[in-house]
Amino acid sequence: MRNDKGGAIERLERAFIAGRISRRTFICSVLATGLVAAGAVGALADELEAIRQIQAERLADLPQRFDYIVVGSGSAGCALVGTLADRTDGNILLIEAGDWDTAPTIDDPRAWFANLGTERDWGDVALPGPGVNGRAIPEHTGRVVGGGSSINATIWARPTRADMDHWAEASGDEAWNYQASREIYKRMENWRGALNPEFRGTDGPVWVQPAQDVLPLVDATLAAVAEIGLPVVDDLNAERELTGNGFGLMNQIIKDGRRHSLARAFLYPVLGRGNVTLLVNTSVNHVLIEGDTAVGVECLRDGQVQTFHADREIILSAGGFNTPKLLMLSGIGDEAHLADHGIDTRMHAPEVGRNVQDHILHGGCIFEAPEPVEHRNSAANISGYLKTDSALDHPDVSIVQIELPYASEVIGQEYAPPAGAWALCGGLVAPQSRGTVRLASADPAARPVIDMQFLSHPEDVEYLARAIRLAREIAHAPALKDHMLREVAPGRDLQGDELANFIRNGATTYFHAAGACRMGRDEGAVVDAQLRVNGIRHLRIADSTIMPRIVTVPTMPVCALIGVRMADMLA
């Protein structure tokens, strides 16, 4: 059940650490919730005061040299810093361009979409492309402590065996394979569902639970899935990883009705240590490189340019678009492209900014309900994955139920779905299309040019068509007859060009950009199996950009895996 007072305490804790409220205000506000005994409030305040004091002292006398510099406090950055700080006394500087994660819309998982387009979002938009009928599609990414894990839909979906075994083959390192990765997930997780020691961990920092207190609509949808002969599983993060097929309740990073981001899981527990410094509202302009060695970063903080140096490693965890941008601004990229912007080449790496992939979420197949649909958890509580092509070793499509009439701007205008409606959205989780990230200019403040080339590969349209047919078949199964008055969109069986246009007009993205700095053992790869940038010493990458092929699940848990693996490499 929801615990709004518990969420209020977490907000107060973060606001106190960030210096936005006084100790007195914190104590009085916590006491007002009635959840913490008067005798315990002082001890809690003392603990948080110590964290705040340590951070304040380090900021007041900010060192210029650190052992490690991590750029970006997203899912991977939090997992990396939290894990590394547990294992080393080395000084760690974590730099975040956004602010602290104190907004109420971060805590409330039902309101996650209210973060999109705000100051907590980088606000990037992909160029219009013919694959989506000339539409410009937003690519939301987190610009706040916790990154995407603070603004996304809280889904914890682990990769399949095929996903990770492919990484092991591409990198030449079996430490990336599924079995090794599953052991890391077991270390990470505090799983609150049925015990399954073969697959799940229960002592880690990441609170994960099956979707709680779901609507009758959800139960009926799973019954409908079974009625049409598709597999329904007890846990989407167990045997489904082996087979690639399965529908069930989502795993979610929600605790007591509140988001439990990877900042909460990994970063906050180490902020009270003397070897961790977090800089918020600080933008990195470029990496400082001497010869073939990365030695520091140049930042913009409080309107002033500052430099920080790293004696051991610099790790870029800035995300799907910012990491390739930083590499190019630092002279690492395609020589001709860098020259176009007057940037001297430090390392000719033509694949920086290429191989960019994202999952497609179609909006949508929409169905009017007999009565208004309440939003529970993150307003999406069922998902499923399926291999529709027997030639593949991994799922190619997904289905997610959304407890509101989710539609693209074109589909919404054409079909005008009523507010009392729900959606079954087909997804493309193994896209063949590849995009690019390029610099707009040499100005670090300029956003990069993102050309995702969505649905440019004809197979992507065909797989999405399969997902849409599947969604409609589920919706029309007998188990859902009491939950649907009519099919709003598309309303009938579309064929040929009409279906293709429905797909292209409805395509949106899951905001899972990956692959722009791919890992591999070939000369073209940007990083090697140890995530070291090829040709540059003491510079590594730990985020979604290193994926040789995008995983077939939401990328947040995989970024956490990458962050922990990086800590394993360094410590």
Are the CB atoms for 276 and 269 separated by under 8 Å?
Answer: no
85 beta partners: none
| Beta strands in 241-364, from DSSP E residues, in sequence order | 246-249, 251-252, 254-255, 258-259, 276-279, 282-290, 293-301, 304-316, 332-333, 347-348, 360-362
* Residue 71 annotated as binding site: no
Whole-angstrom distance, CA of residue 279 vs CA of residue 358: 29
Q: What is the DSSP letter of 1?
A: -
SS3 call for 535: coil
Torsion sign (Cα): 309, 564, 278, 284: positive
With tokens 């492919």, the residue in question is 166
* Residue 510 annotated as binding site: yes
Query: Residues 33, 39, 40, 44: what is their CA dihedral angle, to the nearest 10 degrees?
Result: 90
Q: Which CA distances in Å does 400 have to 217, 240, 382?
A: 13, 16, 6
Q: Which CA distances in Å does 299 have to 113, 264, 331, 406, 436?
A: 30, 25, 16, 39, 25
The CA-based angle 356-361-363, given to 5 degrees, is 140
Q: What is the DSSP letter of 265?
A: I
Whole-angstrom distance, CA of residue 382 vs CA of residue 399: 8
Backbone φ, ψ for residue 424 (5° rounding): -115, 110
Q: Which CA distances in Å does 188 have to 78, 252, 561, 563?
A: 12, 14, 8, 11
Helix (H) or strand (E) holding 402: strand 397-402
Are the CB atoms for 69 and 310 separated by under 8 Å?
Answer: yes
The CA-based angle 152-156-159, given to 5 degrees, is 120
Q: What is the DSSP letter of 275?
A: T
> Cα 85 vs. chain centroid, distance in angstroms?
22
Catalogue the active-site residues: 512
Burial code (b: 16+ CB inside 10 Å, e: under 16) for 216-234 equals: ebbebbbebbeeeebbbbe
With tokens 């087909």, the residue in question is 426
| Among candidate residues 451, 384, 358, 403, the one with its CA nearest the CA of residue 136 | 451
* Residue 178 annotated as binding site: no
The CA-based angle 547-435-286, given to 5 degrees, is 70
Whole-angstrom distance, CA of residue 416 vs CA of residue 454: 25
Positions at the binding site: 144, 284, 510
Positions at the binding site for substrate: 510
Positions at the binding site for FAD: 144, 284
